[in-house]
Chains A and B, each alone.
Chain A
Amino acid sequence: MSEHPLNNFLSLYSDSLKRLALNDSGFVFDPMTGQSFTVNPCGLELLKLMQKQKDVELINHQILAEFDITAEILERDFLEFSEQLRRYLK
């Protein structure tokens, strides 16, 4: 069975994700670059989960338990979100 495409991202960007300062209103600050961001509520939820663990299946499990979303759409949106993060967390 092939590996989930997001596992590679979570492993490579683990440190970068952990360094982000998040607050509950969606403000994100990257102390390494000084760049700040606004993240929407679902993006914030994913960021919080990604800071805690690198296993995509566990993250998915938690999101699916909380949100009205199918696994397929979650995977697609999560992939696109990771593409955004790759760009901003260089």
Chain B
Amino acid sequence: MTKKLLKTWQKPSITPHQMGTLNKFGRPVSGDYVEKIDGVAVSDLLREYGSPLFVISEKRLRDNIRQMKRAFESRYQPVIHAWSYKTNYLNAVCATLHQEGSWAEVVSAFEYEKARALGVPAERILFNGPHKKRAILERCVTEGARIHIDNLDELYLLDTIAREFDKVTSVTLRLNFDTGYTEDWSRFGFNLGSGAALDAAIRIGNSSHLKLRGLHSHIGTFILDPRAYQVQVEKMCGFMELIEQQTHALIDSIDIGGGFASQNALQGSYLPTEQVVPTMSQYADTICGTLLKMTAQREAQGKPRLKLILESGRAVVDDSEVLISSVVAGKRLPDGRASYVMDAGVNLLFTAFWYNHKVKHTRPLQGIPEETVLYGPLCMNIDIIRQSILLPPLSVGDSLVLSPAGAYNNTQWMQFIEYRPAIVMVHENSLVSVVRRAEKLEDLNGFESLPTHLNGQFKFAE
């Protein structure tokens, strides 16, 4: 007796035709799927480490930093890349980049301590940011880290500490100014136009223990027009010449911060990222070309060649990490759209608040793509990881790969309602390491202590 061969079931769906309207959802996600990450099957990763799961590609991370260094060093030398810890301060990520030669750029005592604990020498740490208390400044002065001065109170405190420790301390002055291309980031550093930056440079010049050796500015984030950097370098070099004439300062480095865009898609952006995001060569061309032009006479004047310091974070790490998330439930919304509850939401993918991440499935899916909302697991209305995307019908247990997820998610994520999952790194030999294990109740309760009289004796209503 032969058994009848049954046909494959697909979740039934019907999609209305819409004509004459712009398609705001972009191309449907179909055909293109991610079965493996650097040679390791997604299904094996989920089976071994559970869902959701962050996965870092060591190879991509190394490729990215090498590509950036090549782009800049082929046009200008010396170039220093300082890894922006706040972008992703997982030890495995930081260590990989330090192996590639990156210094550490930190913005808090915590990040400084993390870098030092990892083995970064203090003189390879740039300490940025607006919040530096006396204790950490004292440590930086004694250990020799480069401090980027953000405000007058910090300047006076640092001067006091340097005198108390009788330690001549090289410092960098953080500047802010309008480039005409970017938002005004005037809350950090000293303003150029108001004269505050010149006043600060003169004050440092009058100090017996502070030596102004560097200038720093960070003109914004996700900067899509390289000409912004041209203005930045011109203004910083102009200011350098001014203060070198007016004070005894001899500048050894220009730090242009970060802000290079990654291949993520900002919400509200209609053009594909490949069309709007400049290549690393385009950024490097503008920055190095301007710097060479502005410093052409410098060596003839007997002054040291400037170190160009980059603090790029997002462009280095973003596309080296993905988040794999699985469908927990599907729900048809009253307006006809498909929706799914995923096991990862804005608690893990914090950047979903401003990016439309790429979404790929992990096996070929049958069915007609339709407008779909992807919700996270939180019992909160704001927990939406994609407001609108064309996806074929999904089933419970199907997994999706959300990317790029390497920048600002593992630092800004929240332990809110759910445990945070494991993060694994796939190495170049396709071996996998857990670089941060999944949270457990004991981890979180370990922070708390319960006063004795609150322990038990609960009186629940009947």
With the chains together, A80 CA to B4 CA distance in Å?
28
Q: Which residues of B contact A46 (CB under 8 A)?
A: 12
Are the C-beta atoms of B13 and A39 separated by less than 8 Å? yes
Are the C-beta atoms of B12 and A42 separated by less than 8 Å? yes
Tell me what chain B mostly uses at the interface: helix, strand, loop, or mixed. loop
Q: Which of A43, A67, A69 contacts B14 (CB 8 A)?
A: A43
Q: A21-44 toward B: CB 8 Å interface, digit per residue (1/0)? A: 000001010000001111111110
Are the C-beta atoms of A42 and B11 separated by less than 8 Å? yes
**What is the distance, in angstroms, from B6's C-beta to the closest C-beta of chain A?**
4
Are the C-beta atoms of A40 and B12 separated by less than 8 Å? yes
Is A61 on the interface with B (CB-CB < 8 A)?
A: no
Are the C-beta atoms of B12 and A37 separated by less than 8 Å? no
With the chains together, A40 CA to B334 CA distance in Å?
20
Which residues A28-73 have CB closer than 8 A to chain B?
28, 35-43, 45-47, 65-69, 73
Is B429 on the interface with A (CB-CB < 8 A)?
A: no
How many of chain B's residues touch chain A, expressed as a range?
20 to 34
Q: Given that A35-B17, A83-B332 are known contacts, is A68 also in contact with B7, CB under 8 Å in the complex?
A: yes
Are the C-beta atoms of A68 and B12 separated by less than 8 Å? no
Q: Which of B6, B336, B368 contacts A87 (CB 8 A)?
A: B336
Binding site for A on B (CB under 8 A): 4, 6-17, 330, 332, 334-336, 366-368, 393
Top 4 A-B pairs ranked by shortest CB distance?
Answer: A43-B12, A68-B6, A69-B9, A81-B12
* Additional A-B contact list (13), CB under 8 Å, known A67-B7, A69-B6: A40-B368, A42-B10, A42-B12, A43-B12, A67-B9, A68-B6, A77-B9, A77-B11, A80-B11, A80-B330, A83-B332, A84-B13, A84-B336
A-B contact pairs, 15 of them (CB 8 A): A28-B14, A36-B16, A36-B17, A40-B366, A40-B368, A41-B10, A42-B10, A43-B13, A43-B14, A68-B6, A77-B12, A80-B330, A87-B334, A88-B16, A88-B336
